[in-house]
Amino acid sequence: MIPQAQVWTGARMQPPALAKLEDVATVSVSLVGEAKDWYNEAEQADAIIVNGTNRITGEVMDRLPKLRVVARTGIGVDRINLDAATERGIMVVNTPEGPTESTAEHAIALMLNLCKQVAVTDRILRSGSEFPAYSQLTQGLETRDTLLGLVGLGRIGTRVAEIARVLGMKVLAYDPYISPKRAEGLGVALVGSLEELLPKANVVSLHSPATPETRHLINARTLAMMRRGSYLVNVARGALVDEQALLDALNSGQLAGAGLDVYDPEPPASDNPLFKHPHTICTPHTAAFTTASVLRMQVMACEQVALALSGEKPTHLVNAQVWEKRKR
């Protein structure tokens, strides 16, 4: 144990989270946040807790000579150089269960908003227009007995499936890492390929990690496979979608709408044409930004840091090779 270990965080921690560290370390909260040069503040930190807005590269790690732990309040660690961390013996931990419920609910909210034409008709009234004739509107989609296609059936995808089934939807999923037995237990029909899933689904919701293999998984070719007039929801990672191809599919009517919480790159350009498109709903990566989710992620991140600084293996150690090297 390191009684006087130092933890730097870019955001103020709530009391239940700080309580997890009180016997292990002192905590300092950034005065500038993660958006600016915070490295001098964290120079003596044994651990840092970040929310993922900045990239933690090998160069950043080298500016923090005492660094032993990088904790991410959330799931994605694509902005942390895992190879560089492992090479330097730095543990990277995350909070995979923390944002599950809020992110899943956000995906469902975007789906229902799209299917019921909520944002489209709200914009018409806010523009000062009179009630439009029904002939001027696109009919909405009643979700009961329709097909939801999930690309990824991890924690969040699983919860989306559970909620969708309560709504009366039939759920298909493509995930090469999930067994048919597990999918069956969730009441989900597992398909063997993206090509099999896309033509069947009325709504496609993405729940895959960002990896070199999944970059632009949704592109001009795969969008053309989707049912004409179907919907796309992405609360996972922006890199999964080729945004120009998505824009073309919306303009052609191949897709009836898209609900997006993530973009490529982030932050996106303020003039991104998807923001002004009449058939999109765009939120600024806020799916997990709820009172319950933020607290849960903070508590979990502090728990992981406390374990690591106490010499115990964190339960959510992303780069497990670091721990194996310590044992040699």
The residues that bridge with 6 in the sheet, in sequence order, are: 26
Number of domains in the chain: 2
Residue 1, pLDDT score:
45
Confidence (pLDDT) at 17: 97
Whether residue 145 is found in the same domain as residue 156: yes
Give the residue numbers spanning the domain of 67.
5-98+291-327
CA dist 96 to 15, 49, 100, 111, 151, Å? 21, 15, 7, 23, 18
Tell me which residue of 137, 152, 230 sits closest to 191, measured CA to CA. 152
Q: Assess whether 232 and 216 both reside in one domain.
A: yes
**Torsions phi, psi for 322 (to 5 deg):** -60, -45
Question: CA 210, CA 78: separation in Å to the nearest integer?
Answer: 7
Q: What is the pLDDT of residue 136?
A: 84
Name the active-site residue from 159, 285, 296, 316: 285
What pLDDT score was predicted for residue 327?
56
At residue 270, the 3 state secondary structure works out as coil
Annotated active-site residue in 43, 162, 266, 277: 266
The CATH number of the domain holding residue 191 is 3.40.50.720
Q: At what angle do helices 100-115 and 155-166 cross, to 10 degrees?
A: 50
Same domain, 36 and 129: no
d(CA 222, CA 174): 14
258 and 141 together in one domain: yes
Catalytic status, residue 296: no
One domain for residues 268 and 296: no
Same domain for 144 and 106?
Answer: yes
Q: pLDDT value at position 2?
A: 46
Phi (first) and psi of residue 266, to 5 degrees? -125, 135
What is the reported pTM? Answer: 0.92
For the chain, what's the residue count? 328
Q: Are residues 136 and 76 in the same domain?
A: no
Same domain, yes or no: 116 and 259: yes
* Same domain (yes/no): 240, 196: yes
212 shares its domain with 260: yes
Which residues does the chain have with pLDDT short of 50? 1-2
Identify the burial level of 241 via C-beta atoms within 10 angstroms of its C-beta, where 0-12 means exposed, 13-18 middle and 19 or more buried. buried
Looking at the structure, tell me whether residues 9 and 89 fall in a common domain. Answer: yes
144 is known as an active-site residue: no
Distance CA(73)–CA(295), nearest Å, equals: 10
Q: Specify whether 79 is catalytic.
A: no
Decide if 267 contacts 69 (C-beta within 8 A).
no
Q: Helix and strand tally (H, E) in the chain?
A: 13, 12
Instruction: Let me know whether 93 and 118 are in one domain.
Output: no
Nearest-angstrom CA–CA distance, 272 and 36 = 24
Residues 286, 131 contacting (CB under 8 angstroms):
no
The pLDDT value given to residue 328: 54
Question: What pLDDT does 33 receive?
Answer: 80
Active-site option among 237, 279, 296, 316: 237
